[in-house]
């Protein structure tokens, strides 16, 4: 199977670019952030503090079912049989995902699931540690980034479009803080694999970034 790893910080456009590139290449797109979000939701629903490693680890029993399914080609997440694809997109679920993703037992729990998906499918898998930890033998590894200002600008525009009252400076400082946390955590910190190709999307339109990613993958297959 052909596996492509795309990693990078929040707001670099990873998921949109990966989805479009996968559709164009005829691969499936796997969003691994959704797995961490689902475990975050497990903690929230259980009333457990998502940053408490022991309490979160205790939730990962044999009775728990976290499943990724493709419905009409789109990835959906199922928690104990319930479709939670929308529920994992709330701000609370984002925060919980970030907290549980630093718990070693959670990363171990999701590792096998990610390996199995990559083993069975030609795919583009996006995340933070795909090229470094999950698929160290991926055929092509891309580290997609953009300046904090460019990423904060995209996030700010999205929030304004949703009618939210936010200040650009706050979105930017939030982005810088999250980058720091993600790249300094003890387990699977965000960093490019040694053999990753670094692509900066700062000055690009979405279409330009998609074309650049497809071109990079084709040139390195
Ligand atoms: O990509 P996202 O924002 O949906 O990811 C949600 C959280 O999960 C984010 O805080 C980073 C974490 N994550 C991770 O640690 N490793 C991955 N492979 C994917 C996401």
127 contacts 35 by C-beta, under 8 angstroms: no
For tokens 């580290």, the residue is 143
Dihedral of alpha carbons 75, 81, 85, 88, sign? negative
C-alpha–C-alpha distance, residues 140 and 217, integer Å: 6
Q: Of ligand 1's atoms, which has the minimum distance to the CA of residue 134? A: 18
Mean pLDDT of the chain: 94
Torsions phi, psi for 56 (to 5 deg):
-70, -45
**Nearest CA-CA partner of 147 in 119, 179, 123:** 179
Q: Which atom of ligand 1 is nearest to the CA of 15?
A: 1
H or E element that contains 213: helix 206-220
pLDDT of residue 89: 87
- The closest residue, in CA terms, to atom 6 on ligand 1 is 33
Expressed in angstroms and rounded, the spacing between residue 7 Cα and the centre of ligand 1 is: 10
pLDDT bin (cut points 50, 70, 90) of residue 91 is confident
The model's pLDDT over 96-128, given as tens digits with 9 standing for 90+, comes to 998 999 999 999 999 999 999 999 999 999 999
* Residue in 198, 58, 188 with CA at minimum distance from that of residue 127: 188
Q: Which residue carries 């990613």 as its tokens?
A: 213
Return the SS3 of 35. Answer: helix
Per the CB < 8 A criterion, the answer to whether 8 and 145 are in contact is yes
User: Ligand 1 pocket by C-beta < 6 Å: which residues?
Assistant: 10, 32-33, 36-37, 97-98, 101, 127-129
Q: Which helix (H) or strand (E) holds 127?
A: strand 123-127
82-83 vs 74-79, strand pairing mode: antiparallel
What pLDDT digit, counting tens, does each position of 153-196 carry?
998 998 899 898 989 999 999 888 878 878 888 888 899 999 99
Distance 147 CA to ligand 1 centre (A): 19
Going from the Cα of 206 to the center of ligand 1, the distance in angstroms, rounded, reads 21
Nearest CA to ligand 1 atom 11: 98
CA atoms within 13 A on the CB side of 170: 7
């Amino acid at each position: 199977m052909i596996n492509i790893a795309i990693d990078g910080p929040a707001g670099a456009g990873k998921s949109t670019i990966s989805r479009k590139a996968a559709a164009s290449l005829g691969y499936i797109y796997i969003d691994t952030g959704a797995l961490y979000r689902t475990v975050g939701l497990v903690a929230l629903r259980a009333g457990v503090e998502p940053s408490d490693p022991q309490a979160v680890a205790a939730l990962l029993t044999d009775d728990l079912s976290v499943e990724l399914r493709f419905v009409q080609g789109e990835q959906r997440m199922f928690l104990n049989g319930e479709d939670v694809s929308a529920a994992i997109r709330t701000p609370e679920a984002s925060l919980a995902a970030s907290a549980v993703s630093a718990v070693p037992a959670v990363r171990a729990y999701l590792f096998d699931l990610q390996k199995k998906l990559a083993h069975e499918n030609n795919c583009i898998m996006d995340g933070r540690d795909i090229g470094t930890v999950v698929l160290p033998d991926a055929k092509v590894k891309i580290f997609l980034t953009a300046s904090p200002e460019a990423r904060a600008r995209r996030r700010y525009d999205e929030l304004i479009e949703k009618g939210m009252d936010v200040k650009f400076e706050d979105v930017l400082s939030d982005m810088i803080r999250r980058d720091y946390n993600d790249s300094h955590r003890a387990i699977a910190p965000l960093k490019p694999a040694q053999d990753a190709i670094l692509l900066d999307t700062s000055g690009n339109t979405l279409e330009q970034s998609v074309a650049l990613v497809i071109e990079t993958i084709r040139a390195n297959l």
